[in-house]
Amino acid sequence: MTEAGSKVTSHLFVVMTTAQTSQLQSTGANTVASSSSNGAAFYFQCAVVVIGVLGAVANGLIIYAMIASKQHKKQLLIFNQNVFDLCSSLVLVTTYTLKLCNIRLSGVLGYWLCVIILSENLLWCSISGSVINLLSITVERYLKVVYPALSKKVLHRWVIWLAMVFAWIAGTVYMMILTFCTTAVIDEVCYGYVVWNSRVGEVIHGVWNFMTFFVVVVCFFIFCYGRMLFVIRRQASVMAGYGGSNTVQIHLHQMQTNVVQTMILVSALYVITWAPTGVYYLLLNINYSKWTLLDTGYYIAVFMLFFYLCANPFIYATKLNPVRRVLLDLIPCKKSQQGGEAVEMNGTRNVPQPNCNVGL
């Protein structure tokens, strides 16, 4: 046996000899459950694969539109947010496709497959990083709106790049440490995030996770965007007295307002979709005897969170005008209609118009 294999076997032996075996039987993410639970899990996994594919396509289109409209250079953090969502969608499809295959895990390869993929480690690395990046976007918007002079001194391009890199590293490091400490393969089955050496540690982490990724984030959104809306309304009332004399400044103000509105919608969607999962995970860690990772409530809560990955791109498509224009140009009937109108205006041909209603 190799040295790596002996380490894995030793780790599993320690896990198997703890007093948490009963907990694993009731809360393991891949435990053998009743036929109804297995049926719910199967349909849930199929639905997640579908929503992952939709999310990957939608985020891919938004990334293309941002690059084509040059917005990826102007909105670096927003572009990074879409890259996070695209990666999450792709990993989501990969993870749940493998889960549908019901692979029996054995040896070193099985252990690493469990820790890296089947435990949803890579997926949550990307999702955790996207939360951090979303906070960075909020800080950037807050400084530009509330403290424009300070933002010019602080928000250098290298600072933005540093925030982007930090989001990837911080999310990955956090999830890697958590997964390796609380995941194991027992009887060829992957148990993710349920192998705790201390019951107190499990409760503390559950409370910390809920406070950090939900309560603190929501309070941060409320404070920052509430303050930004107040400043924007005050500026709008001041500029109203200038009439049309300062059109350039008004135009820039409108663009800034549009970006803020976009991020408010993204933040509101975050609150709605993260609330069920955050509360459920908290209750699972506090009272694991009554809550399991196989309940229908868990599937519904997690599905709403995964829906966040798919719904985010549509907000960017409808609120960022350059991105929306590029996406509209991709619609064949839209191009045909524009071409027909141009020919008719020249008076040379009267091209029939397609019956196509386009709206985002």
Question: Could you give the CA distance from residue 125 to residue 170 in angstroms, rounded to a whole number?
Answer: 9
In the chain, the N- to C-terminal Cα span, in Å, equals 59
Q: Which H/E stretch holds residue 356? A: none
Distances (CA, A) of 170 to 27, 79, 160, 340: 27, 18, 15, 52
DSSP symbols for 83-122: HHHHHHHHHHHHHHHHHHTTPPP-HHHHHHHIIIIIT-HH
DSSP symbols for 182-241: H-EEETTEEE-S---S-HHHHHHHHHHHHIIIIIHHHHHHHHHHHHHHHHHHHHHHHHGG
Question: Could you give the CA distance from residue 51 to residue 48 in angstroms, rounded to a whole number?
Answer: 5
Quick one: CATH architecture of 3-323?
Up-down Bundle (1.20)
Distances (CA, A) of 290 to 27, 115, 200: 9, 26, 17
pLDDT for residue 103:
86
pLDDT for residue 316:
67
Collapsing DSSP to helix, strand or coil, 248 comes out as: helix
pLDDT for residue 37:
57
pLDDT for residue 181:
92
> Could you read off the pLDDT tens digit of each residue along the chain, which spans 360 residues?
444 444 344 444 333 333 344 444 434 443 334 455 566 778 888 888 998 898 899 889 889 988 988 888 888 998 999 999 999 999 999 999 998 888 888 889 999 999 999 999 999 999 999 999 989 988 998 998 889 899 999 999 999 999 999 999 999 999 999 999 999 898 888 888 888 888 888 889 889 999 999 999 989 988 988 888 888 777 777 766 665 556 666 666 676 677 677 778 878 888 888 888 888 888 877 776 555 555 667 777 878 888 887 777 777 666 777 777 887 887 776 555 554 444 444 444 444 444 444 333
Q: Which two tokens stand for residue 192?
A: 């993710």
Angle (CA) 248-250-251 rounded to 5° is 65
Domain boundaries, the chain: 3-323
Angle (CA) 301-119-17 rounded to 5° is 115
pLDDT for residue 307:
81
Give the count of beta carbons closer than 10 Å to the beta carbon of residue 343.
12
Largest CA distance in the chain: 86
The full length of the chain comes to: 360
How do the residues of the chain divide into helix, strand and coil, expressed in percent and rounded to 5? 80, 0, 20
Question: Could you give the CA distance from residue 122 to residue 116 in angstroms, rounded to a whole number?
Answer: 6
Query: Residue 180: CB partners within 8 Å, gap ≥ 6?
Result: 115
Question: Could you give the CA distance from residue 293 to residue 31 in angstroms, rounded to a whole number?
Answer: 9
| DSSP letter, residue 354 | P
